[in-house]
Amino acid sequence: MIKDKPIKTEHFDISSKQNAAHDPNLNGEFPMTFPLEQGPRRVVIEHVRPEIDGGRFSIRRVVGETVVVSADIYADGHDLLSAELRYRHVGDLEWQTTPMTMVQNDQWRGEFVVHQLGRYEYSLESWVDHFKTWQRDLKKKDDAGQDLTVDLRVGGDLVEQAAKRAAGDDQKKLLSIVDELRRTPISDTAVPVALGPNLTRLMESHPDIRFATRFDKTLAVWVDRPKSLFSTWYERFPRSSSPRPGRHGTFRDMERLLPEIARLGFDVLYLPPIHPIGKTHRKGKNNSPAAGPGEPGSPWAIGSEEGGHTAIHPELGTLQDFVHLIRKAGEHGIEIAMDIAFQCSPDHPYVKAHPQWFRWRPDGTVQYAENPPKKYEDIIPLNFETDDWKALWEELKNVMLFWVNQGIRIFRVDNPHTKPFGFWQWAIGEIRQEHPDVIFLAEAFTRPKVMYDLAKVGFAQSYTYFTWRNSKHEFIEYLTELTQSEVREYFKPNFWPNTPDILPEHLQFGGRPAFLMRLVLAATLSSNYGIYGPAFELCLNVPRPGVEEYIDNEKYEIKHWDWDAPGNIKPVIARVNRIRHEHPALQTPWNLRFCDIENEQLLCYGKATTDRSDILLMAVNLDPFHTQSGWVKVPLAEWGIAPDQPFTVHDLLSDAKYIWQGEYNYIQLDPQKIPAHILRVHPRLKRETDFDSFM
Annotated active-site positions, please? Answer: 414, 443
User: How many CB atoms are located within 10 Å of the residue 506 CB?
Assistant: 20
# of chain residues touching a copy of itself (CB under 8 A): 124
Restricted to residues 433-462, the positions that interact with a copy of itself (CB under 8 A) are 433, 447-450, 453, 457
Q: Which of 319, 389, 612, 631 binds a copy of itself (CB under 8 A)?
A: 389
CB 544 within 8 A of CB 498: no
Chain positions 332 to 371 lying near a copy of itself, rule: CB under 8 A, are: 361-363, 365, 370-371
592: CB partners within 8 A, 6+ apart: 479, 483, 525, 605, 607
Residue 315 and residue 295 in contact, taking contact as beta carbons nearer than 8 Å = no
Q: Which stretch binds a copy of itself (CB under 8 A): 121-129, 462-470, 576-584, 653-661?
A: 121-129
Q: Closest approach of Cβ 105 to a copy of itself, in Å?
A: 7
DSSP designation for 360 = B
**What residues does 621 pair with on adjacent strands?**
602
Considering only 21, 290, 551, 685, the residue that binds a copy of itself (CB under 8 A) is 21
Q: How far is CA 57 from CA 87, 272, 449, in A?
A: 16, 30, 14
Q: Which of residues 130-159 bind a copy of itself (CB under 8 A)?
A: 137, 140-141, 143-144, 146, 149-150, 153-154, 156-157
Residue range at the interface with a copy of itself (CB under 8 A); choices 5-13, 271-279, 479-487, 550-558: 5-13
Least separation, in Å, of the C-beta of 96 and a copy of itself? 11
Q: Does 208 bind a copy of itself (CB under 8 A)?
A: no
Q: Is 45 in the site for a copy of itself (CB under 8 A)?
A: yes
Does residue 388 interact with a copy of itself by CB under 8 A?
no
Exposed/middle/buried for residue 132 (C-beta within 10 Å: 0-12, 13-18, 19+): middle
| 398-417 positions binding a copy of itself, by CB under 8 A | 417
Strand partners, 530: 233
Asked if 390 interacts with a copy of itself (CB under 8 A), we say yes
Q: How far is the CB of 214 from a copy of itself (least distance, A)?
A: 3
DSSP letter for each residue of 478-534: HHHHHHHSGGGGT--B-B-S-BTTB--HHHHHHHHHHHHHHHHHHHHH-SEEEEETT
Which position among 298, 425, 628, 648 is part of the footprint of a copy of itself (CB under 8 A)? Answer: 425
Closer residue to a copy of itself in complex, CB, 292/372: 372
Nearer to a copy of itself, 216 or 690 (CB): 216
User: Mask: binding to a copy of itself, 54-83, rule CB under 8 A, as x and -?
Assistant: xxxx--------------x-xxxxx-----
Query: Given the complex with a copy of itself, which of 422 and 635 has the nearer CB atom?
Result: 422
Element (H, E) at 60: strand 59-62
Nearer residue to a copy of itself within complex by CB, 8 or 244: 8
- 301 burial via Cβ count (<10 Å: 0-12, 13-18, 19+): buried
Stretch that binds a copy of itself, among 88-96, 187-195, 406-414, 614-622 (CB under 8 A): 88-96
Of residues 215 through 254, those in contact with a copy of itself by CB under 8 A are 215-218, 220
- The yes or no reply on residue 86 touching a copy of itself (CB under 8 A) is yes
In terms of C-beta density within 10 A (0-12 exposed, 13-18 middle, 19 or more buried), how is residue 535 classed?
Answer: buried
The DSSP-derived string for 143-162 is HTT---HHHHHHHHHHHHHH
Instruction: For the CB of residue 426, give the shortest distance to a copy of itself in the complex, in Å.
Output: 4
Binds a copy of itself by CB under 8 A, chosen from 87, 100, 125, 278: 125
**Cβ–Cβ < 8 Å for 348, 311:** no
Minimum distance of a copy of itself from residue 648's CB (angstroms): 46
Question: For residue 101, what are the contacts with CB-CB under 8 A and spacing of at least 6?
Answer: 108, 109, 110
Instruction: Candidates 70, 82, 135, 213: give the one binding a copy of itself (CB under 8 A).
Output: 213
Kind and range of the H or E run holding 335: strand 335-340
Radius of gyration of the chain (CA): 31
- DSSP letter string, 242-287: -SSTTSPP-HHHHHHHHHHHHHTT--EEEEPP-S-B--TT--BGGG
- Asked if 546 interacts with a copy of itself (CB under 8 A), we say no
Q: Which of 289, 333, 429, 640 binds a copy of itself (CB under 8 A)?
A: 429
Among 64, 68, 90, 655, binds a copy of itself (CB under 8 A): 90
- Taking the C-alpha atoms of residue 107 and residue 568, their distance in angstroms, rounded to an integer, is 54
Closest separation in Å from C-beta 123 to a copy of itself: 8
- Strands 81-89 and 107-113 come out as unpaired
When asked if residue 184 is in the footprint of a copy of itself (CB under 8 A), the reply is: no
Cα torsion for 490, 494, 500, 505, to the nearest 10°?
110
Q: By C-beta, is 105 or 689 nearer to a copy of itself?
A: 105
Q: Which is nearer to a copy of itself, 140 or 285 (CB)?
A: 140
